[in-house]
Chain A
Amino acid sequence: MAAGREVRAGAVSRRRSDTRFAWSAMAPAWVFLVALIGYPLVLVVLDAFSHVNLIKPTVGGFAGLDNFAQVVSDPHFPAAVGNTLIWTVGSVVGEYAVGLGSALLLNRPVRGRGAFRALTFIPWLVPIIVAGMTWSWMLNPDFGIVNSLLVKGGLVHRPINFLGDATWAMPTVIFVNVWRSFPFFTISFLAALQAVPEELYEAAQIDGASPWQRFRDITFPDLRSVSLIIVFIHVIWTSVNFDFIWVMTQGGPNYATITLPILIYRYAMQQFDVGMASALSTLMLIGTSLVFVVYYRYRRKLSEEILG
């Protein structure tokens, strides 16, 4: 009886010391996340309803919805919303297509496959600034290699000013983003493809299924789950991406590539209006949360479907 109590007391104290250990080992992570993500997050929402200026400390006070009204009535706001949508959808669709194509290709059992796989991932590893600069140089209308090849090949008569022409600028930055970001899709698809049992294909082949039928009925359904998550992640990442467009066009020419993150930067670092920047950030946070809700719903539906 006494021994049993002792054991229980031992178990309780062990459990307690475990809990203490668990919390203290996670404490550093918490300190960082609370101080540099949690606290700024609260601050951004508070600032959205206040008058705050980055360089004028005298500006202050409750602003109500003033900042939001100012953001929405900004003449560049509708264009920025539209551009953000085009930029996001265009990039993700392109990355998906190139990623899926390259994954199917790299999944074929041929010699040298490992080397091809490795070099496919290289664009994803370089700094965005390097990708942006190298492509800007290649697409340069005066001395760029791409225009030179296009003219020589007779595809165009005059060099195209890819980044300086309002109609070409957006497709061009999307193209460069696809080039740099598709390997993430490739890696994810390759990992998922390796999980597809080989026997399924053999059985289908014996049943006389064409390669297209095999892809449609076996491969594609198995990729749905991984597709959902990477498309979701990339919709978020792309819609909030600042670097690519800033590095290549800074939102130009003549606001042709201005997106919401560029607007946030301009409000904050060029007009020093923290209130407006925070209001727009808050709006974008609401937007990304909505995307998350859609993703979550769809995810549940998909798991129910897969599990039956």
Chain B
Amino acid sequence: MKIRTYRRVTHAVIYVLLAILAVYCLFPFAWMVISSLKPIDEIRMRVPTFTIHRPTLDNFVNVLVEHNFTTYIRNSLVVSLAACALSLAISLLSGYVFSRFYRRRAVKYTNFFMLVSQMIPGVLLLVPLYITMRNLGILESKISLILAYTTFVIPLCTFMLSSAYDSIPASLEEAAVLDGCGRLETLRRVILPIMVPSIVSVGLYAFINAWNEFMFGYVFISQDANRTITPAIMLFKGANSINWGGLMAASVIAVLPVALIFLFLQRYFMSGLMSGAVKG
């Protein structure tokens, strides 16, 4: 009897704490969406309300049409998709070697170099990277961002994909090789189809990383035509008096792809994150 009440109380306490955690994590998003749907006079109220009296899409129309956000979204999509594809192509190859030839000296050197490069933060390389991009003549272009984003995710993508390859028995490809298949052919026809879940989660990581990045986009691109969405939000804020409604609408737009990906592919994503986190 006593034990049962004790259990019930702990259960209740756990749910209360979980609810607090959920509010802590989600309230900013709720407030962002509410604010983005409020007209300007409701935004500028001394005592803000949770309800919207006259919901409006003005803020969205404003940022999308008048402030060029359609261009920024398109740029962000192009850059992120390209960075995602490029880093997958590169890491699928290097990850394969990491998994199958892990005893080779070549792999050990590469592994060491990747671990070290993981520990060198982008901001410390900001200036030489800027100069390198300028010397290559690709400053102010999407290519500069694609190259930078790809480079900084290659190590982690390689590590994650190499552990995915580890779970596929080598006998599978040996059979294909005996049948006269080349290595790349075997990789493409036999192994990659089984690896789809891992490829999806690694690809998502690369995509989201590129979509969310701020500093390189802010520094490399100064012209509107190639600007991506995260620096665009920063500059939108800087324009004279802050239009908070518009700013929240822009934020909703910037979160949307990530939120959708997460909702639909949560299972892939979580397992990928978990295995990545354990490897750290």
Chain A residues with a Cβ under 8 A of chain B: 18-19, 21-23, 25-26, 28-30, 32-33, 35-41, 43-44, 47, 54, 102, 105-106, 108, 110, 112, 116-123, 125-131, 133-135, 137-138, 140, 142-145, 148, 152, 179, 183-184, 187-188, 190-192, 226, 229-230, 233, 236-237, 240-243, 246-247, 261, 264-265, 268-269, 274, 277-278, 281, 284-285, 288, 292
Q: A28-B93, A240-B124 are in contact. List 19 more A-B contacts (CB 8 A).
A: A21-B183, A22-B97, A26-B93, A26-B97, A26-B106, A32-B147, A33-B117, A33-B151, A44-B127, A108-B14, A120-B22, A127-B229, A142-B44, A144-B48, A192-B278, A237-B121, A264-B124, A278-B127, A281-B123
Q: A33-B117, A268-B130, A288-B119 are in contact. Are A102 and B124 (CB under 8 A)?
A: no
Interface size class of B (residues with CB under 8 A): 35 or more
Q: A148-B48, A191-B278 are in contact. Are A122 and B25 (CB under 8 A)?
A: yes
Q: Which residues on the A side are within 8 Å of B15 (C-beta)?
A: 110
Q: A40-B132, A116-B22, A121-B270 are in contact. Are A134 and B110 (CB under 8 A)?
A: no
Q: Are A40 and B125 in contact, CB atoms less than 8 angstroms apart?
A: yes
Q: A22-B107, A264-B124 are in contact. Are A29 and B21 (CB under 8 A)?
A: no
**Quick one: closest B residue to A228, CB to CB?**
B280
CA distance A198 to B110 in the complex (A): 39
Q: Determine whether B3 belongs to the interface, using a CB cutoff of 8 Å to chain A.
A: no
Q: List 20 A-B contacts (CB under 8 A).
A: A29-B90, A33-B113, A35-B151, A36-B148, A38-B113, A39-B128, A41-B125, A43-B128, A105-B18, A122-B26, A127-B211, A133-B247, A143-B45, A183-B25, A187-B274, A187-B277, A191-B274, A191-B277, A230-B280, A274-B127
CA distance A304 to B124 in the complex (A): 34
Q: B127: which of A47, A130, A135 is its contact (CB, 8 Å)?
A: A47
- What 4 A-B pairs are tightest by C-beta distance, nearest first? A40-B128, A43-B128, A240-B121, A127-B212
CA distance A235 to B22 in the complex (A): 26
Q: Are B44 and A143 in contact, CB atoms less than 8 angstroms apart?
A: yes
Q: How close is A134's CB to chain B, nearest CB, in angstroms?
A: 5
**Quick one: closest A residue to B147, CB to CB?**
A36
Q: Determine, out of B52-60, B189-197, B230-238, the stretch whose residues face the partner at the interface.
A: B230-238
Q: How close is A266's CB to chain B, nearest CB, in angstroms?
A: 12
CA distance A275 to B233 in the complex (A): 30
Q: Are A36 and B124 in contact, CB atoms less than 8 angstroms apart?
A: no
Q: Which residues on the B side are within 8 Å of A21 (C-beta)?
A: 97, 183
Kindly name the residue among B230, B233, B278 whose own CB sees the greatest number of chain A CB atoms within 10 A.
B278
Q: Determine whether B32 belongs to the interface, using a CB cutoff of 8 Å to chain A.
A: yes
Q: Which residues on the A side are within 8 Å of B247 (C-beta)?
A: 133, 137
Kindly name the residue among A29, A105, A264 whose own CB sees the greatest number of chain B CB atoms within 10 A.
A29
Q: Which residues on the A side are within 8 Å of B25 (C-beta)?
A: 119-120, 122-123, 183
Q: Which residues on the B side are within 8 Å of A108 (C-beta)?
A: 14
Q: Are B129 and A40 in contact, CB atoms less than 8 angstroms apart?
A: yes
Q: Are A243 and B128 in contact, CB atoms less than 8 angstroms apart?
A: no
Q: How close is A73's CB to chain B, nearest CB, in angstroms?
A: 20
Q: Determine whether B226 belongs to the interface, using a CB cutoff of 8 Å to chain A.
A: no
Q: Which residues on the B side are within 8 Å of A38 (C-beta)?
A: 113, 117
Q: A128: which of B107, B212, B219, B278 is its contact (CB, 8 Å)?
A: B212
Q: A148: which of B47, B215, B248 is its contact (CB, 8 Å)?
A: B47
Q: Contact flags (1/0) for B115-138 with A, using CB distance below 8 Å?
A: 001011101111111111000000
**Quick one: closest A residue to B136, CB to CB?**
A35
Q: Which residues on the B side are within 8 Å of A18 (C-beta)?
A: 101, 104
**Quick one: closest A residue to B15, CB to CB?**
A110
Q: Determine whether B266 belongs to the interface, using a CB cutoff of 8 Å to chain A.
A: yes
**Quick one: closest A residue to B208, CB to CB?**
A125
CA distance A137 to B31 in the complex (A): 9
Q: Contact flags (1/0) for B214-233 with A, using CB distance below 8 Å?
A: 11000100000000011101
CA distance A22 to B247 in the complex (A): 49
Q: B254: which of A22, A129, A148 is its contact (CB, 8 Å)?
A: A129
CA distance A43 to B124 in the complex (A): 11
Q: Determine whether B150 belongs to the interface, using a CB cutoff of 8 Å to chain A.
A: yes
Q: A39-B132, A122-B262, A191-B274 are in contact. Are A32 and B123 (CB under 8 A)?
A: no
Q: B215: which of A41, A135, A183, A243 is its contact (CB, 8 Å)?
A: A243
Q: A47-B128, A143-B244, A274-B127 are in contact. Are A118 and B91 (CB under 8 A)?
A: no
Q: A43-B132, A133-B251, A285-B120 are in contact. Are A277 and B262 (CB under 8 A)?
A: no
CA distance A122 to B4 in the complex (A): 35
Q: Determine whether B96 belongs to the interface, using a CB cutoff of 8 Å to chain A.
A: yes
CA distance A47 to B132 in the complex (A): 13
Q: Are A22 and B101 in contact, CB atoms less than 8 angstroms apart?
A: yes
**Quick one: closest B residue to A118, CB to CB?**
B266
CA distance A102 to B46 in the complex (A): 34
